Amino acid sequence: MAEQLILEGSTREERYRELYPQLQALLGAETDRIANLANMAAAFRQTFGFFWVGFYLVSGRELVLGPFQGDIACTRIPYGRGVCGDAWAKGMSLVVPDVDSYPGHIACSSLSRSEIVVPIRSVRGEVVGVLDVDSQELGDFTEEIDRPWLEQYVGLLAPLFP
């Protein structure tokens, strides 16, 4: 596949729908974990202009920063800490409309106002990392649109974690 995305939709939902098969093809043509995580982060940034989007990967009892797009970020997050560590511990996606009201939120950037974190599962179903997307706007992510779509995208990553 040519390394070019075709994006014509004007709403975020339309763009989720049109990016999905393109990312599926791009990731399906490559087996390297870092290359695919890097391209997914870049595709999200390019398509949606997210303030910060990237991955943290499980390493022992911590999450360690992986490929991302945006400003430099915290490198290690303990199990059960912050939104990312909570999503890992609970094994479920977390939509946080206002990070200032989230107990234990880890502020990598003071400009981040809302976020969504989606656990990544291996083929065997273990949580092996998380996708974290941050926004400068309050309430930028919804349970109805962003959560199911990002969960579907993250499902593309399972084969990278056999």
Nearest Cα neighbor of 118 from 134, 136, 140, 100 is 134
Q: What is Dmax (Cα atoms) for the chain?
A: 44
Q: Which is nearer to ligand SME, 115 or 146 (CB)?
A: 115
The residue ranges that bind ligand SME (CB under 6 A) are 52, 73-74, 77, 82-84, 105-106, 108, 112, 115, 132, 134
Residue 53 · residue 133 · CB < 8 Å: yes
Name residue, tokens 């930028």: 140
Residue 56 · residue 132 · CB < 8 Å: yes
DSSP H or E run through 45: helix 33-48
Q: Which is nearer to ligand SME, 26 or 65 (CB)?
A: 65
CB 52 to ligand SME: min, Å: 5
CB 127 to ligand SME: min, Å: 14
Q: Which is nearer to ligand SME, 26 or 120 (CB)?
A: 120
Position of minimal CB gap to ligand SME: 82
Q: Which is nearer to ligand SME, 26 or 84 (CB)?
A: 84
